[in-house]
Amino acid sequence: MTATTAITTTANWIEEATATLPANRRLAIDTRRAPDEYRLSHPIGAVLVHYDGSSFANRPQNNALVQDRDVRVTATIFARVHDDGGMSAEEWLEFVIDAVAGGEIAGSRRARRHAYVLEDKLVKDQGGVRVYRVRFVFPTTYIEQDHRS
């Protein structure tokens, strides 16, 4: 799994989950903007999905470089604080976690082939908008390019 595939997979899983909600209760989902520069314009909120790095561990192999790769993807949730009966910022956080955690990673050769949560955190609460960050890990395998099938 590449960084781009992990971002796309995360965004797709969140989009599939939000598709079950009424259209007027859905968050926007964006994979192109950086959270530090983002200004919320959506009436409910938004989820920004971006690559957050990888860690690698070597595996002994005879003729090829093979490594365990943990790809990290972060979903930053911007949710407006409101009293209209919609989901709270904390409920959106849990909604995003439920949409991604446990998702099976296609083609993973690792024993643990499901995305999982590394951490979540309240980033800021300002101007009627709460911002949460949740980091997911996608356990995959990196194989030297000449030995991929």
**Residue 149 pLDDT > 70, yes or no?**
no
Cβ contact 29:44 at 8 Å: no
Query: Can you give the CATH number for the domain in which 91 is found?
Result: 3.30.2000.10
**Domains of the chain: total:** 1
**Residue 5 pLDDT > 80, yes or no?**
yes
For residue 93, the model assigns a pLDDT of: 96
Across 98-107, average pLDDT: 89
Angle at alpha carbon of residue 83, lines to 101 and 77, rounded to 5°: 30
Helix (H, G, I), strand (E, B) or coil at 42: coil
CA 42/CA 73 separation, integer angstroms: 23
**Residue 148 pLDDT > 70, yes or no?**
no
**Residue 118 pLDDT > 90, yes or no?**
yes
Mean pLDDT of the chain: 89
pLDDT in tens, 64-95: 777 889 999 999 999 998 777 788 899 999 99
Under the banding of pLDDT at 50, 70 and 90, the label for residue 110 is low
For residue 14, the model assigns a pLDDT of: 97
**Residue 129 pLDDT > 70, yes or no?**
yes
Task: Look up the domain containing 80 and give its range.
Answer: 3-147
CA 74, distance to chain mean position in Å, is 5
pTM score: 0.89
- One DSSP character per residue, 5-35 reads HHHHHHHHHHHHHHTTS-GGGPPEEESSS-G
For residue 108, the model assigns a pLDDT of: 67
Under the banding of pLDDT at 50, 70 and 90, the label for residue 51 is very high
**Residue 20 pLDDT > 90, yes or no?**
yes
For residue 54, the model assigns a pLDDT of: 94
